[in-house]
């Protein structure tokens, strides 16, 4: 499957809940897309000024296109999370995230034209990134790493990202159905 076709399909799926930016620049480097999701829940008594609690949740997804995912791509994903996504998107340059912040998921999705080698697959599956703020009183940040192997049409993910596998895998199936409809 072509990288551009898969990207269009997944962004179409995400666009119902996410704000999508295409392309997206981080420093001098341009990435094919970035998705942003925000949700706020609150409980109050009678009027909004009598708020009991509030929680804010975020998800940031950055896409990388590459001919073949390797150790350098996994390192780039970690670097993006540590040096850009967490400090700039989660904390917005501050020491801690804003009041009522509960969780921010920072996800890097690698679109790999060729199948990654076994060492890279192992690195993706073992990938971990997380951070808590003020003993979790200001919430936490969790890193997710997904690799879409476009050659074999298979999705590889870090352990914490297993719940996302269905979302990214079903887009391969959706494309097959669409191709069959076009042929008929």
Q: What is the pLDDT of residues 105-138, one digit of tens each?
A: 999 999 999 999 999 999 999 999 999 999 888 9
Q: What is the pLDDT of residues 154-175, one digit of tens each?
A: 999 999 999 998 889 888 765 5
pLDDT band for 54, please (50, 70, 90 cuts): confident
Q: Which helix (H) or strand (E) holds 39?
A: strand 33-44
Alpha-carbon distance 125 to 160, whole Å?
9
Sign of CA dihedral 80, 81, 85, 91: negative
Question: What is the tally of structural domains in the chain?
Answer: 1
**pTM across the whole model:** 0.88
String of b and e for 172-181 (b: at least 16 CB within 10 Å)?
Answer: beebeeeeee
Q: Are 14 and 61 in contact (CB under 8 A)?
A: yes
Six token digits for residue 16: 């119902």
Domain with 128 in it: 3-183
Q: Which helix (H) or strand (E) holds 73?
A: helix 71-80
Collapsed DSSP state (helix, strand, coil) of residue 163: helix
């Amino acid at each position: 499957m072509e990288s551009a076709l898969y990207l269009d399909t997944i962004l179409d799926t995400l666009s119902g809940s996410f704000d999508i930016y295409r392309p997206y620049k981080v420093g001098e480097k341009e990435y094919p897309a970035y998705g942003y999701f925000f949700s706020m829940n609150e409980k109050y008594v009678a009027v909004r000024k009598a708020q009991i609690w509030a929680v804010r949740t975020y998800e940031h997804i950055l896409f990388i296109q590459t001919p073949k995912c390797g150790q350098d791509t996994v390192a780039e994903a970690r670097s993006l999370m540590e040096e850009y996504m967490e400090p700039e998107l989660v904390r917005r340059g501050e020491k801690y995230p804003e009041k009522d912040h509960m969780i921010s998921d920072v996800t890097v999705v690698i679109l790999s034209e060729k199948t990654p080698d076994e060492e890279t697959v192992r690195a993706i599956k073992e990938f971990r990134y997380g951070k808590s703020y003020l003993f979790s009183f200001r919430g936490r940040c969790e890193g997710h790493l997904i690799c879409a192997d476009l050659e074999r049409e298979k999705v590889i993910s870090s352990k914490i990202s297993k719940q996302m596998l269905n979302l990214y895998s079903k887009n391969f199936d959706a494309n097959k159905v669409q191709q069959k409809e076009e042929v008929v």
